[in-house]
Amino acid sequence: MRFFFRAFDCGDFRIVTSTVTLVEVLVHPLRQGNTILAQEYREILLNQENLTAIELTSDIAEIAAQLRASHNLRSPDSIQMATAIREGASFFLTNDARLPSLPGLTVLVLENLRN
């Protein structure tokens, strides 16, 4: 993982994510009343040079619906994967080992990268 983040910090690649990520990561700090951590997450997701948070568009929604229909994905997962596909990502980095690799989009599970 260190190699991954070092390469990211050097600008060797860029990361795209959906703004759905903001919904997912803000839940815990907001429940805890931790406004500082919530703001740090906002800064990371919305103000990094090599990380782009992509808005949900109708185009992405259509791809997400197709993914949900064909792979039985949950809506947040289908939106994230549709965003990656729409933005031309080669890999999809996740903690969820249940997510399938798709044509043109290889799923990398964090836990498997540690081994």
Secondary structure of residue 53 in the 3-state scheme: strand
Q: Going by C-beta distance under 8 Å and a sequence separation of 6 or more, which residues neighbour residue 19?
A: 53, 54, 55, 56
At position 78, the amino acid (one-letter code) is S
Residue 1's pLDDT band (cuts 50, 70, 90): low
pTM of the model: 0.85
Could you tell me the domains of the chain? 2-114 (3.40.50)
* pLDDT > 80? residue 113: no
